[in-house]
Amino acid sequence: MRTVASQQTNPVQAIASLEWRLQLHSKGYWFSLLVLIGYILFGLTDNWELAPGNLAAQLADGVVPIIFVVAGFVTLNCTGREQTEQFSEVFYTLPVDSRAIYTGKTLGAALSLLPHFGCVAAIFLVPIIGQGYIDATVASAWALAVGQMILAGLGGLSVAMFLTAVFRNVRLRYVVLLFWLFGMMGLNGLARIDGFNLVLGLSFLTIDSVPYGFSALNGFFRYQRGHSASLRWAAAPLNSALQQALWNRSHGHGFYEESPVLAGAASYLTLLWLDHIGAGVSEQALARYAQTAANTEAPNTTQRRIAEVVLELHRQKQAGGSALVGKTLRQLLELAAQRAITWDDWEAVYSGQ
């Protein structure tokens, strides 16, 4: 009898293929697919009267957090596989480097999301076929949704990878992810009920169109390859994303982006956090603010004002005014929470100190 050896030719392929296959044995995985299909069917029937483009866009928006959560779930499944199957004792004595292991596992997780992406494709096909026409917004909604889905997937994946690097214990990672997700949902729900679905997905992913999921993922890989400072490095964009999730909503209509005051405060808090985690990151950020403040020609642009505020707060702190800075920030945030603050108010509060 001949043994059927697979046609794979390297450990990365082997791990990716195994992870993808074993994912199909997970009840949670199929449940997530069921939830997604249920959501799409419910959304389709509930909003059928909308034009295809609008209908698709609305559905795609709601799918973002689901993709994010599923990506996190399958990734944790992959990275915790050896522990849950009690195979880690042998697995970690095999002559395969951690780079191959985690590349394979990431690839396996990404492959596992293909059925979910197939469901997203159905969102666009069903209204077009069912309603028998295509309106002008379909193409743009499709492009936007695909981008969002990919970023949501990468976001979930990178957050899970980040947690993997920080917490080796499988259960603890799940608990932390769960707390994080519910915390985000709660905060965003409180901040802006109607937009929290979008915020949950996007806030982890981009700031000023930079996909931070990539940064976090890159940080994780660097960590696996022995760059000990890379966790701190990855923590910075994740922290920024977290911060944006707290104060922002998606599509640039958010409270945070509307208010340069809050943007300035948020930037400064980020700087403090970067300063805390160290490794020269805060110096780089400060230099960037200084450059922005110096190079932006129009004196009243939000970007320039934010940069100036951050630099000024930092100077105050360096001059021994930490308490003063804290008080200023608190006042600002209180005013901002009432949505009653303008740029002039900010300057009044600021100069009053």
Partner 1 sequence: MEHTVILESLSMRYPRSRKPALDSIDLELNKGMFGILGPNGAGKTTLLRILATLLRPTGGRAVIFGHDVAQQPDLVRPLLGYLPQDFNTYRQLTIEQTLDYIALLKDINDAQARRQELERVLSLVHLTKERRLQVRHLSGGMKQRLGIAQALLGSPRILIVDEPTAGLDPEERIRFRNLLADLANERTVILSTHIVGDVEKSCGHLAVISQGKLLFTGEPTALAKAAYGMVWETHVNDGAPESLPAYACVVATRPTRTGRIGRVICPHPPTPDSTPAEPSLEDGYLVIMGACRGDSK
- Binding residues for partner 1 (CB under 8 A): 1-11, 13-15, 18, 21-22, 25, 81, 85-87, 89-97
Positive or negative: CA dihedral 153, 159, 160, 162? positive
Could you tell me the smallest distance in angstroms from the CB atom of residue 4 to partner 1? 6
Residues 6+ positions from 167 with CB-CB distance below 8 Å = 173, 176
Could you tell me the smallest distance in angstroms from the CB atom of residue 290 to partner 1? 44
Instruction: Decide: 141 and 123 in contact? Cβ < 8 Å.
Output: no
Could you tell me the smallest distance in angstroms from the CB atom of residue 35 to partner 1? 23
Could you tell me the smallest distance in angstroms from the CB atom of residue 223 to partner 1? 18
| Nearer to partner 1 (CB atom), residue 25 or residue 338 | 25
| Nearer to partner 1 (CB atom), residue 1 or residue 136 | 1
| Nearer to partner 1 (CB atom), residue 96 or residue 185 | 96
| Nearer to partner 1 (CB atom), residue 97 or residue 347 | 97
The residue type of 35 is V
The residue type of 137 is T
Residues 6+ positions from 221 with CB-CB distance below 8 Å = 99, 102, 103
Residue 1: other Cβ atoms inside 10 A: 3
Could you tell me the smallest distance in angstroms from the CB atom of residue 88 to partner 1? 9
| Nearer to partner 1 (CB atom), residue 6 or residue 228 | 6
**Whole-angstrom distance, CA of residue 66 vs CA of residue 116:** 9
Could you tell me the smallest distance in angstroms from the CB atom of residue 82 to partner 1? 9
Instruction: Decide: 62 and 197 in contact? Cβ < 8 Å.
Output: yes
CA distances 119 to 122, 188, 212, 338, Å, are: 5, 26, 25, 41
Instruction: Decide: 52 and 135 in contact? Cβ < 8 Å.
Output: yes
| Nearer to partner 1 (CB atom), residue 97 or residue 334 | 97
